[in-house]
A and B are shown apart, each in its own frame.
Chain A
Amino acid sequence: MTDRTWHASTEQLHGFANHSELMEQTTAASLEAHLVGCDACRRGLAEAADPVTIASSWEALTDRIDQPRRSMVERALVRLGARSGWARLVAATPGLRASGFAGIALVAAAAVAMARGIGAEGPFLVAAPLVPLAAVAVSFRPGADPIGEASVATPMHGMGLVLRRAVAILTVSFALLGVAALALPDLDLEAAAWVLPALALSVGAIALSTWIRLETAVAVLGGGWLMTLTAIWWLAGRDVVAVHSQSFVLATQLTALAVGVVAMAVVGARRDRLATLEAFR
């Protein structure tokens, strides 16, 4: 029915481009039907229109399509009040990806399961402090930033970013561990005995990384923790129950507190070393 050799005239195209609503009904309807199938007339129509309107329509469109996709973590941070720039930077921390959450949750659940299995908190108290330490290792090793080296030469790189990222992953680790701890067999004060050692180990690793490689620092601290516990067990006459005695628990907590405070002071004093590549080598 449609004769493809027919094309719209310049006046018709001009009329349709600039005030289509004023065109006579059926003429306009026919022209519309023709345009769906004729690219030559569509071209003519675009030429008959004001180029400024086409350009500004495109500009408005780019504002929409150029929005980077926001991850769930990023949106959560924005809702918590972070500015969109910081939210993006912190959300890019490796430990804050879904795999990170899953890993932490898995280890916490396994530790709790073991604790319930033997009816004592021991396994959880041993394993929990290692979790934030591992999160620090994953999030701050060289090449962990999605951008790599190009990010080091920027004004925002340095202690401000390290701190915000550390706060984010430590908050997440501690929150998940705290939730898991609720399922421990005995909910007494001792069930929280993992908190200070966890802080000491994770902040300690960041502090040590201003001298040695992060991986080494993590290994030293993780190994040190396990060796300390073994030493305590030995000193208690290899009696697991005695390990839970007041004196040992108090000693461990106070030491952890001291280490944590010292580590924070070191990070503050040596923050310049966080600002270059070598810090996390």
Chain B
Amino acid sequence: MTTTPTISLVGVSKGFGSTIALDHVDAAFAPGINGLLGPNGAGKTTMLRILATVLPADQGRLDVLGVDPTTGDGRLSVRRRLGYLPQEPGFHRQFSAFDFVDYVAILKEWADRKTRHDEVRRVLGLVDLDSVMHKRIGQLSGGMRRRVGIAQALIGRPDLLVLDEPTAGLDPEQRLRFRELLGTEASGATVLLSTHQTDDVAALCHNVVVLLSGQVRYTGTPAGLAALAEGRVWLAADRDLRAELAWITGEGRVRHIGDPPAGAQLVEPTVEDGYLVLAGHQAHAAPLAS
């Protein structure tokens, strides 16, 4: 890593009953956009919750923005510089988008009403929800609700942005807007986002961590992840029956990962290919690109 990490995890473990969600995880994140890739149940949400001070770890050492978040003071310090989007934000039915973001802003110690409301309008404007900010959240579409969640995370221009599946439910145009937004709003901040979408990772992240079954299986650049599949990705006219990983692409040909099927053409690997090399069948259990 060329820049000093602002977040580091050493030997972090977390279990729930008999399930091990995180298994002696070592990771470090620097300012910029860091991606967390993995199927459902891999431990992404657990890791993000621990870093967002919402869950305590069972074991291990943590350093977040220079403090230890396991102490009361450390937690308070982190929370003052943090924006967090949970996988399932709890939306109160009667709240409008404005009410929701305003409520979070109060929780973030914005006591003065005038400056607070200006900030609420600002972040709702960033996610293009100006027109509907006074509609009840129940009336908004899933994509709009996600954007309300993103907006509340952006309050106060935090130094640390922890986003759990921020692009879930967003259409391609909104995902593009989100990428632009991160570029301008979050420059200088440390962003941690979890996703299923490898193209988000390829477009946004300078650093990606792949989590499988609670363990880190790759840390590095998206290009490095793609390179794991170098020399193993093939395009053929038909599916080879012995192939483990193969699917029909949009152009009608069949993409294979692994041994070359008969008459196949070698192609450049993408981030998705690299991820599939690591995750294999586990990845197929989750929707990879929706």
Contacts and interface: CB of A to CB of B under 8 A. Distances in A.
Interface in B76-102: 76, 79-80, 82, 84-86, 88-92, 95-96, 98-100, 102
B53 interface: yes
B55 interface: yes
Given A149-B88, A275-B72, A89 B107 contact: yes
Nearest to B49: A277
A155 B80 contact: yes
A226 B88 CA distance: 38
Interface string A75-114: 0000000011100110010000000000000000000000
Interface in A125-156: 143, 145-156
B55 A277 contact: yes
Interface string A170-210: 00000000000000000000000000000000000000000
B104 to A, nearest CB: 6
A32 interface: no
Interface stretch (B109-117, B211-219, B253-261): B109-117
Contact of B55 (A147, A156, A272, A278): A278
B73 to A, nearest CB: 10
A237 interface: no
Contacts of B120: 66
A66 to B, nearest CB: 6
Given A147-B92, A149-B86, A149-B88, A154 B54 contact: no
A155 B76 CA distance: 6
A267 to B, nearest CB: 14
A271 to B, nearest CB: 8
With most chain B CB atoms within 10 A of its CB, the pick from A65, A85, A143, A275 is A85
A51 interface: no
Contacts of A148: 86, 88-91
Nearest to B77: A155
Interface in B90-141: 90-92, 95-96, 98-100, 102-104, 106-111, 113-114, 117, 120-121, 134
A74 B120 CA distance: 20
Contacts of B56: 276, 278
A245 to B, nearest CB: 47
Given A155-B80, A275-B72, A276-B55, A147 B89 contact: yes
B50 to A, nearest CB: 10
A89 B107 CA distance: 8
A146 B103 contact: yes
B100 A147 contact: yes
A151 to B, nearest CB: 6
Contact of A150 (B55, B72, B89, B121): B89
B152 interface: yes
Interface in B8-61: 49, 52-56
Nearest to A157: B107
Given A66-B121, A148-B88, A148-B89, A154 B55 contact: no
Contacts of A68: 96, 98-99, 102
Contacts of B100: 147
Interface string B194-211: 000000000000000000
Nearest to A273: B56
B104 A272 contact: no
A39 B201 CA distance: 50
Given A150-B89, A153-B82, A156-B108, A84 B113 contact: yes
Nearest to B83: A153
A150 B106 contact: no
B274 interface: no
Nearest to A275: B75
A88 B52 CA distance: 24
7 contacts: A66-B120, A85-B106, A146-B103, A150-B152, A155-B79, A271-B72, A276-B54
Interface of A: 62-63, 65-66, 68, 83-85, 88-89, 92, 143, 145-158, 271-272, 275-278
Interface of B: 49, 52-56, 72, 75-76, 79-80, 82, 84-86, 88-92, 95-96, 98-100, 102-104, 106-111, 113-114, 117, 120-121, 134, 149, 152, 162
Given A89-B107, A155-B107, 4 more contacts: A88-B106, A147-B90, A149-B86, A277-B49
The 4 closest A-B pairs by CB, nearest first: A148-B90, A146-B92, A154-B107, A153-B84
